[in-house]
């Protein structure tokens, strides 16, 4: 942890210098990459993968709503390579009869996700994957506001008795320890409050790896999406397994 702290401080100094010479977009990209590198050192990049059970036989395909930002939407990728398409294919290959509704909007924040939740739920999904917060963090928006927005989303989904998988995000150390501590606590806290499954870091195994990202250094390329799908599929499968069947 001491090494992670030193790395974080070094990153902060580098980012401060970069802000003096780079465009805002270039700064954000570098903030994101080095932030993830520091956090991977701090947490050891380890995430426990649940064991997938065999899918139960069902009639009509289940509908999974993927409510997110550009990472869900498939920014910069043709539709067949996008996250929701690859995830649907991976789940079907494992025997899950599921249709994934892509409700990702590039540039969206937690506030945007909350404001369009009613519209997204009009498709009457059986379960929901929530992937929001990266843009709040990259813009340095108040973590308390992001928490309130995500709380509002989860509260509505709980009222509708919809199973949820909450995908987390990490904050850049360049935003300061107070900000990072407040932001990083949002996802595990809300997962406990609403008793929903948590996938700690949506970009696990992909962030900060140039070979797995597009030229902007933020959005995963097709190979990066494949890695994300491989890692998150067991969690999504467990989410689908949790859906109560009529008469069950």
Residue 178: both structure tokens together:
């107070």
Tell me which of 70, 136, 172, 174 is the catalytic residue. Answer: 70
Tell me which of 123, 142, 216, 242 is the catalytic residue. Answer: 216
Choose among 159, 155, 181: nearest CA to 170. Answer: 181
Q: Is 238 left (phi over 0), alpha (psi -120 to 50) or beta?
A: alpha
Does the active-site annotation cover 216?
yes
What is the three-class DSSP state of 199? Answer: strand
User: Over 95-159, what HEC string results?
Assistant: CCCEEEEEEECCCCCHHHHHHCHHHHHCCCCCEEEEECCHHHHHCCCCHHHHHHHHHHHHHHHHH
Nearest-angstrom CA–CA distance, 13 and 129: 36
Axis-axis angle for helices 143-159, 177-184 (nearest 10): 0
Active-site amino acid positions: 70, 216, 219
């Amino acid at each position: 942890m001491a090494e992670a702290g030193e790395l974080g401080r070094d990153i902060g100094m580098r980012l401060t210098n970069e802000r003096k010479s780079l465009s805002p977009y270039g700064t954000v990209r570098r903030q994101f990459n080095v932030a993830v590198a520091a956090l991977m050192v701090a947490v050891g990049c380890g995430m426990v993968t649940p064991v997938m059970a065999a899918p139960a036989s069902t009639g009509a395909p289940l509908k999974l709503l993927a409510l997110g930002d550009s990472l869900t939407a498939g920014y910069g990728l043709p539709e067949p390579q996008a996250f929701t398409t690859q995830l649907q294919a991976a789940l079907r290959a494992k025997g899950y009869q599921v249709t994934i509704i892509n409700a990702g909007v590039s540039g969206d924040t937690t506030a945007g996700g909350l404001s369009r939740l009613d519209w997204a739920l009009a498709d009457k999904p059986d379960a929901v994957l929530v992937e929001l917060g990266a843009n709040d963090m990259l813009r340095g928006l108040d973590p308390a506001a992001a928490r309130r927005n995500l709380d509002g989303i989860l509260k509505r989904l709980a009222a509708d008795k919809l199973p949820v998988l909450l995908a987390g995000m990490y904050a850049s150390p360049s935003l300061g320890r107070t900000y990072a501590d407040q932001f990083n606590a949002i996802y595990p806290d809300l997962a406990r409050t609403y008793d929903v499954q948590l996938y700690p870091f949506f970009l696990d195994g992909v962030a900060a790896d140039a070979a797995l990202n597009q030229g902007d250094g933020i959005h995963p390329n097709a190979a990066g999406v494949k890695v994300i799908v491989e890692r998150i599929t067991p969690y999504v499968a467990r989410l689908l397994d949790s859906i109560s069947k009529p008469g069950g």
